Amino acid sequence: MVLAYSDGSASAQAGEVAVSPDADPCAIGLERTLKAAMRLAGCEAGAVFLREGEYFSAKLAQSGKAAQLFSDFDLSAVSIEAGETRLVNESAEIARFFPGRDEMQGSNAQTVFLIGFNATADNPWKAATEGVIVLISKTKKTSDNLDLSLLLDFGAIAGSLVQTRRKTSKALETLERSEKQTEHFDYVTELAGVGGWEIEPATQKIFWTEQTCRIHDRPTDYSPSLQEWFDMCDPAYRKSLQTAFREAVASGTGWKIDLPIQTATGRRIWVASICQPVFGDDGELLLVGSIMDVSARRAAETEIDRSQRLYRSTLNALSEGILVVDGEGIVRWHNAAAETIFECPTIYAEMTHLEDVPCLVEPADMHALFDQERAYDDYNLLSGLLILKQSKSLTLQAKVGEDQTRKWLRCRSEPLISREDKKFVGLVISVEDITAKKRSEDILNEAFEAIPNGIAVFDQDDRMVMANGAYRVAFMDGKLPSGGAETYRDVLSRNLASGRIADVEHNDAVREAWVEDRASDFFGGSVSHIDRLDDCRWLQTSSMITPSSYRADFFADVTELKTQGAVLEAVFENFPGGVALFDARRNLTLINTGMKELLGIDDNFMRSGPTLRSMVARNASREGLTGDALDAAVAKTIDRFAQSEVVTYERVLSDGTVHEIKAISLPDGGLLTTLDDISLRKQLEQQLRDNARRAKKKSAELEATFANMKQGVSVFDSEGCLQIWNQRYIDIFSKPDGEVRHGVAIQTLLDAEKLRGDFEGDVEAHIAQLRQRLQAGETVRSYFKLKTGTLIGTIHAPMPGGGWIGTHDEIAEDDKDYKAFRRSRQTDPQTKVANQAYLLEDMELALDSVRLNGGSCGVMVISVGFAHYYALGEHMAPCDQTNQIIARRLREAVRPMDLVARLDDGRFAVLFPTLRNDDGAVRKMAERIMSLLREPVVVSGQKTLLTVHLGLVRLTDRVETSEQALQKAQTTVDFASVKGSVSLAVDLI
């Protein structure tokens, strides 16, 4: 993509490339970046070239001379790296960019600027070049006219815009699916806010904040009278507000009430009004309060009340009986199904006890419930559950009603625990009459043996529980399972050994691995496998985990449908949500377990020949819809499926579960539907929005605090990018406009300071050391001297998450902490003498004195080692203790005005600020130093002799730098060391 632009002068007005009104902000920002770069470089035309395949959704119209100028620009002639800026002002090289064209905009191009960049936001200079900014000037320019490094920021901005667009595009793809749902939320969020107000009761003067004015649809400078304020309240609530106001004035009590008001535009909203009386030093009363639009909350409370009524109606509509009892066994609530199941029409809320509800079981069942035998007055199951006070789920036969009708019941109990003291306060009992279902299960058991396909069931320990005749004939030679001895692995191994499975290699290791893989799939719940048998038939074996964690293995001959059937079944069963396939007549042909579980579909429903309409109706009835409302909801859903080839929508159930439903029309007229539970995703999205809102509020509070601090403040994240700062931070470092911005890297900031002369040293090394110490939990203190001479003290402290906060303040040269810091930086921590940096600094001062007053000074380098190793032709540096002894002896041997410094292990230096031009005197001083140093030292309990070599350089006004003088002295002592017998070398520079 190319964006071309001209300067809009009379000669080039037609060359401007306009950004269409529907262009996104990134395209607009790219155009403005180009304009700013042109202004800075003083160029008449410019263009941005991006890598092929990168497009913005906005359309950039190209017209006029500027677009024509770059229409045949040869981008392949540009060779530039990301983060590089080049200035081309040679005609021959410029001609390569425009082959076959000499004239541009009516005159020869004299200068072309090239700025390479990429679209990596974290570090825009360490990746492959993805774009280049080209600027053209009709006048010849040189690097003397312009600091090319200033153009780098425009490349970084262009790369950031491209990166932003990428991220925005990804976000938009996600947001499109939920655009309708989030649209209402965004609207409510925009209106949310808390306003403030003050009332002076003595003067009845009222002050509103801007947010309060906006809540009331008033101008932001509006200030009502007290009566006007009362009149805004709904007449039915006005007296409550007036009473609360009078009590606040009379007794200094506040209020917290919800009020309906009418805004200036006629809107009727609910607001939460809070008042807190405040007394000044003079005892004057001031009412201070807040107001918030809580219309949404009130609507939600209304909706909750409606939902609770709907919930009760739903429970009453259930075929499952529900009893809610207190800790004493008194029935507090029940539904109609409970009376029907227990055949007891006289259950009264808050009057009937569980003992009065007939539900008798056999003694053996009662003992099993308590896992022990004990005596009972009766064997009432409900009373037993109350005694247990536990979660229970059991299926048994009971006698209910006055006639003691025998019914099979599935009963569940859940205790109610108080949140405050965690005590038992009641029990919820649900009972389902499964008599008909149990009778059906008996029939199913009989039918199990009659099924032509093989079925077997294994428990959690891989023991066969049951197998039908077809399975036993096919895999077990017709034998019945014997006492749990037969396992799934035994079945597999026996059929491999008999050669029945054809496609497994005849190798023991391979076969053992095959058995283990199949067993692992079987117990992991894998759906199915297809194997070729020795008689060339294809057998599909499928497995599934039952709700009781049993594993079912079954097979079918799928020779004819092997390919299409196996693939389709695998796709359906492995689909992460629910999926169902309907034919052209909308009859259900395939459905996976996920769809059954999500819709609560049981075997009875599946045997009824489900259709699209019956499944939609079943789902709607689970939400509590009945009658005409149910029919309308079903018709609306069926019509929605017919409106488009692909239909996607969401449905919120009464319990808050959110389902995403998608329907795809197939070429043969069929319909493929999927259903997925996206409740968690919706909750996470809501949490993200809530977190973002809270973070925004906290950030605003933090920025307000920083703005009032006298020190400069900067906050960097774990990536070293600036997040928060105050104006004092910009002022104290005299940073130019645009340099400090959100997300800028600390290295970029320090590089800019180094270019201005406000930072000395290696930027990367400084940052690496800073981050290392911060990661270790240290608070890092450092000092910077700006080009203006201002001394800045900085303290960086680590924050949770890897970021850090810095405070910056101007300090004086005699600042106690600064002097201590400087001393610590100039002193060798081991020997407590000066370090090399301190030595070089004092050498410069001594040289300045020589240049000004004449004479000379000198620096002596002393090399010390152990005599034993020196005799063997080796050198061993002294240990820490020996270094300390050498330093002490040197301080004793020299004058108080002389400076002793340590260079490294076994090597020291002495600076003589003044030195007589007398070699004899110098040698006597050197001999005195050598004599002291050569005295034995005690190392590891033994006396050890030292070797000492001295190199002395007398410094005159011909010396240019202290580093040069120290290097000469080091060379001199090295010469003395090589000579061996000569321990002192003197030189003059």
| Lowest mean pLDDT segment, chosen from 59-73, 83-97, 284-298 | 59-73
Boundary residue ending a domain (824, 853, 872): 824
- Statement to judge: residues 287 and 349 lie in one domain: no
- Statement to judge: residues 158 and 195 lie in one domain: no
Q: Could you tell me what percentage of the chain is helix, strand and coil, using 3-state DSSP and rounding each to the nearest 5?
A: 40, 25, 35
- Statement to judge: residues 362 and 429 lie in one domain: yes
Bridge partners (DSSP) of residue 394 are 411
CA distance 141 to 132: 19
- Tell me the mean pLDDT in the region 117-137: 70
- Summarised one tens digit per residue, pLDDT across range 4-14 is 555 544 333 33
pLDDT band at 160 (very low <50, low <70, confident <90, very high): confident
- Tell me the mean pLDDT in the region 599-625: 84
- Statement to judge: residues 820 and 947 lie in one domain: no
Among the listed residues 616, 570, 614, the one whose alpha carbon sits nearest the alpha carbon of residue 593: 570
- Statement to judge: residues 167 and 26 lie in one domain: yes
- Statement to judge: residues 61 and 193 lie in one domain: no
In a domain, 487, yes or no: no
Residue type, 423: K
Q: How many independent structural domains does the chain possess?
A: 6
Report for 20-24, 471-475, 876-880: range of highest mean pLDDT:
471-475
In a domain, 797, yes or no: yes
- Statement to judge: residues 252 and 375 lie in one domain: no
In a domain, 444, yes or no: no
In a domain, 819, yes or no: yes
CA distance 55 to 542: 49
Query: Domain with 904 in it: what CATH number?
Result: 3.30.70.270
pLDDT band at 177 (very low <50, low <70, confident <90, very high): low
Looking at residue 64, its pLDDT comes to 46
Q: Note down the domain range covering 587.
A: 506-680
Residue 550 has pLDDT above 70, yes or no: yes
| Lowest mean pLDDT segment, chosen from 187-201, 286-300, 489-503, 866-880 | 866-880
- Tell me the mean pLDDT in the region 576-599: 85
Residue 316 has pLDDT above 80, yes or no: no
CA distance 676 to 659: 6
- Statement to judge: residues 91 and 154 lie in one domain: yes
Looking at residue 199, its pLDDT comes to 92
- Tell me the mean pLDDT in the region 256-275: 92
CA distance 641 to 646: 8
- Summarised one tens digit per residue, pLDDT across range 378-402 is 678 888 888 888 888 888 888 888 8
CA distance 969 to 953: 6
* 49 or 226: which leads in pLDDT: 226
Looking at residue 982, its pLDDT comes to 41
Looking at residue 185, its pLDDT comes to 39
| Lowest mean pLDDT segment, chosen from 131-140, 481-490, 955-964 | 481-490
Looking at residue 490, its pLDDT comes to 82
Query: And the tokens for 937?
Result: 């030292």
Looking at residue 256, its pLDDT comes to 92
Looking at residue 371, its pLDDT comes to 62
In a domain, 456, yes or no: no
- Statement to judge: residues 609 and 722 lie in one domain: no
Boundary residue ending a domain (388, 413, 438): 438
Looking at residue 182, its pLDDT comes to 46
Mean pLDDT of the chain: 79
Residue 134 has pLDDT above 80, yes or no: yes
- Tell me the mean pLDDT in the region 625-631: 86
Q: If 0-12 CB within 10 Å is exposed, 13-18 middle and 19+ buried, where does residue 529 land?
A: middle
- Tell me the mean pLDDT in the region 143-155: 79
Residue 449 has pLDDT above 60, yes or no: yes
- Statement to judge: residues 837 and 976 lie in one domain: yes
In a domain, 500, yes or no: no
In a domain, 407, yes or no: yes
- Statement to judge: residues 124 and 157 lie in one domain: yes
Cα atoms in the 13 Å half-sphere on the side-chain side of 488: 27
* 540 or 201: which leads in pLDDT: 201
Please, what sign has the CA dihedral across residues 287, 291, 297, 298? positive
In a domain, 693, yes or no: no
pTM above threshold 0.85: no
- Tell me the mean pLDDT in the region 661-679: 85
Report for 159-173, 449-463, 479-493: range of highest mean pLDDT:
449-463
Please, what sign has the CA dihedral across residues 24, 26, 29, 30? negative
Query: And the tokens for 163?
Result: 């990166």
Query: Domain with 118 in it: what CATH number?
Result: 3.30.450.40
Looking at residue 60, its pLDDT comes to 33
Boundary residue ending a domain (149, 175, 201): 175
Looking at residue 270, its pLDDT comes to 93
Looking at residue 5, its pLDDT comes to 54
* 120 or 155: which leads in pLDDT: 155
- Statement to judge: residues 73 and 171 lie in one domain: yes
Which helix (H) or strand (E) is 722 found in, with range? strand 722-725
Length of the chain: 989
Query: Domain with 780 in it: what CATH number?
Result: 3.30.450.20
E runs forming strands in 533-605 = 538-545, 551-557, 578-582, 588-591
